Structure 1
Amino acid sequence: MLEGEASGYDLAKGSDATVADFWMATPQQLYRELERMESEGMVTARVVEQERRPDKRLFSLTQAGLEAVHAYTAETPGRPAVVRDELMVKVQCADVGDIEAVRAAIAERMEWATGKLAHYERFRQRLLGGRSEEAYFAEAERIGPYLTLLRGMALERENLQWGDMALRRLDQRLNALRAND
């Protein structure tokens, strides 16, 4: 919506590509939030009739919505979110649990991170549109989406680096346990 008119569906799909790594919302939450924003005058909506599909509503930020975004970005952020990751609980218990299963879970997470990185790289190339990163930062109307994308990419690279190290250490542990049997 910061780029212009968008349907709830467009916003949900766009958030999958741009903010899902740091802010998750279900489509239902998104639609409830749009309704709330409309009732508070932060967005306007218009109905577009479609053939062979249900009508859709397109939302646009109002001046009050733009002012709310400005006020929100001026606020000091709260404390960073607490990470709740079931994999980390399993890793914590690996020594008394099933090390092979924990190892498999880490490997699966690494596959997921590799897939996300590939997705992010495709999105990065679309944003750059053939430009260098320096040219993008100098010319793009909005750089926030690119900056958050770079953060997501860095996080997934770090996840891969950690996963590689953790797998090596678990393999060492498994080899030592097998040697002692």
Structure 2
Amino acid sequence: MTLRHAVLAALLDEERSGYQLAKAFDMGVANFWYAKPQQLYAELTRLEQGGLVSGREVVQAGRPNKRLFTVTDTGLAELEEFTAAAAKPSVLRDDLMVKVQAADSVDTDHLIARLTERIGFARTKAELFEHLLRTMRGDRSEEDFLLHGRPIGPYLTCLRGLAFERGNLDWGERAIAVLRARQDRPKTRDAEGDDR
């Protein structure tokens, strides 16, 4: 996937300005595709030049004019082609995993501090996803929304984001518990080199 597909997908439901697109990325799209605002503005320009989105100028009283973008038929065809192509498996690249991988040789207190930070971030993100999901479904039950609600795509990606962050929470808490338990016991080595 490229940023172009993430931007096109984010513009499907409504016409958005670059600023609104950046907020949409922060609120939902960032759970599966992160981009800085300047990257989004540059991508919007490329997409408009390529005919995948169209922009229109909106005159605002007392404020600078803004451009609103929407997906064109060409952009929708691009998304259709992208959707039909086989998806590549996800690959986890996370500096925290590298740090934990080195747990037997580094200061455990530092790892616990980094894990605690990650848990805090995961908790905040999980709360955000829960709020987004409640907002999207309104007064409906989740079962009803999943069968009949719109937009279902953003709802499903938020569900995935929530599951991801809950997984981070569970794993982080377990990793801290393991590291603390190992700190609290005297170390001896058995004949095979394992700590006992």
What is the CA distance between 1:60 and its match in structure 2?
Answer: 1.0
What is the CA distance between 1:177 and its match in structure 2?
Answer: 4.2
Which of 119, 122, 125 is residue 128 of structure 2 equivalent to? 119
Identity of aligned residues (%): 46
Q: Secondary structure at 1:57's aligned position in 2?
A: strand
The 1-side partners of 2:14 and 2:112 are apart by 45
The 1-side partners of 2:164 and 2:152 are apart by 19
Pairing of 1:25-44 with structure 2 (within 5 A): 25-44=35-54
Which of 84, 87, 106 is residue 115 of structure 2 equivalent to? 106
Q: Secondary structure at 2:55's aligned position in 1?
A: strand
Counterpart of 1:38, as a letter, is E
* 1:52 counterpart residue number: 62
Bigger mean CA deviation after superposition, 82-91 or 163-172: 82-91
Q: Secondary structure at 2:64's aligned position in 1?
A: coil
Counterpart of 1:77, as a letter, is A
1:66 correspondence with 2:66: no
What is the CA distance between 1:165 and its match in structure 2?
Answer: 1.1
Which of 144, 149, 165 is residue 156 of structure 1 equivalent to? 165
1:10 correspondence with 2:20: yes
Q: Secondary structure at 2:178's aligned position in 1?
A: helix
C-alpha RMSD of matched pairs (Å): 1.6
What is the CA distance between 1:178 and its match in structure 2?
Answer: 8.3
Between the two proteins, the alignment pairs up a number of residues equal to 178
The 2-side partners of 1:126 and 1:141 are apart by 12
Which of 130, 135, 140 is residue 149 of structure 2 equivalent to? 140
The 1-side partners of 2:77 and 2:55 are apart by 18
Counterpart of 1:86, as a letter, is D
* 1:131 counterpart residue number: 140
- Runs of 4+ aligned residues of structure 1 deviating over 6 Å after TM superposition are none
What is the CA distance between 1:78 and its match in structure 2?
Answer: 2.3
What is the CA distance between 1:57 and its match in structure 2?
Answer: 0.4
What is the CA distance between 1:162 and its match in structure 2?
Answer: 0.8
Q: Where in structure 2 are there 5+ consecutive unaligned residues? A: 1-10, 189-196
Q: Secondary structure at 2:184's aligned position in 1?
A: helix
What is the CA distance between 1:19 and its match in structure 2?
Answer: 1.5
Q: Secondary structure at 2:13's aligned position in 1?
A: coil
Q: Where in structure 1 are there 5+ consecutive unaligned residues? A: none
Which of 156, 166, 175 is residue 184 of structure 2 equivalent to? 175
What is the CA distance between 1:4 and its match in structure 2?
Answer: 2.1
